[in-house]
């Protein structure tokens, strides 16, 4: 019963993290316009982290702490078949505080200090999601073409692109000669009369739609890190409450 309860809680918590980081708090339009403005000003692209949106990183950490504490309390209730005593509940709070702020907090700090770490799952889990559920291939077909007109799976190009440097990469693909991917370049439909990208942040613009998918795979990658850290935090907190008098041992 405890195993099923633990697995059920992990599923709900991880699903909530992905929903919050990748959909509820994910604002690709604002990010798109920020990158576009930086590009027009000639500024260098930055490496973002997706702990924001609806909440700051610290707020997310506090919310995860509350969720972990509530989850461990539910597991404890399942074990003792009733409400935990005051001392047991205090142990749960202390265990949750230690595990969340050490495991999840350090993971968030590592992703912020090492942006490349935040991209670790971008072209695996992130690409899988946008390819299977995000309409990636359909949008890529609206963007790219090739000299022979042959049928190519253009969606895989998303693995070569990142939210930072997005516009610079596409600008190299305006023709076959400058394209970093041999023989593949942008359709004329996505270019202005002067040969520049159509950069309007509208749903009808394939360039904007492709950016949303590229940025989403980055967000999914960071959400994966936070999810893994939260699972470890749940497990370590659960292990700590198995020892009575945790406050005394500290």
Interval 205-238: pLDDT, tens: 999 999 999 999 999 999 999 999 999 999 888 8
Helix (H, G, I), strand (E, B) or coil at 184: strand
Q: What is the pLDDT of residues 125-151, one digit of tens each?
A: 999 999 998 889 999 999 999 988 788
Residue 212 tokens read as: 């949303």
Give the Cβ contact number of residue 76 at 10 Å. 21
Rounded to whole angstroms, the Cα distance separating 10 from 234 reads 8
Rounded to whole angstroms, the Cα distance separating 100 from 149 reads 53
User: Which residues face 146 on adjacent strands?
Assistant: 184
CA dihedral 142, 224, 36, 188 (to 10 degrees): -10
> pTM value?
0.88
Residue 62 tokens read as: 């506090």
């Amino acid at each position: 019963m405890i195993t099923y309860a633990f697995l059920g809680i992990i599923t709900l918590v991880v699903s909530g993290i992905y929903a919050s980081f990748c959909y509820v708090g994910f604002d690709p339009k604002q990010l798109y316009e920020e990158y576009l403005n930086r590009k027009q000003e000639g500024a260098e692209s930055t490496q973002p982290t997706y702990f924001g949106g609806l909440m700051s990183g610290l707020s997310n950490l506090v919310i995860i702490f509350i969720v972990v504490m509530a989850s461990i309390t539910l597991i404890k209730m399942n074990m003792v078949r009733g409400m935990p005593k005051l001392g047991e509940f205090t142990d749960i709070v202390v265990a949750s505080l230690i595990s969340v702020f050490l495991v999840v907090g350090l993971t968030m700090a590592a992703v912020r200090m090492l942006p490349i770490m935040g991209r670790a799952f971008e072209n695996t889990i992130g690409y899988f999601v946008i390819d299977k559920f995000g309409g990636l291939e359909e949008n890529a077909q609206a963007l790219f073409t090739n000299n022979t007109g042959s049928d190519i799976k253009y969606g895989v190009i998303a693995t070569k692109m990142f939210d930072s440097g997005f516009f610079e990469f596409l600008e190299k693909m305006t023709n076959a000669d400058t394209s970093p991917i041999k023989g593949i370049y942008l359709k004329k439909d996505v270019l202005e009369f002067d040969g520049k990208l159509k950069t309007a942040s509208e749903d009808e613009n394939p360039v904007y739609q492709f950016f949303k998918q590229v940025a989403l795979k980055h967000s999914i990658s960071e959400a994966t890190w936070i999810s893994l850290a939260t699972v470890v935090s749940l497990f370590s907190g659960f292990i700590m409450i198995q020892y009575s008098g945790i406050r005394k041992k500290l």
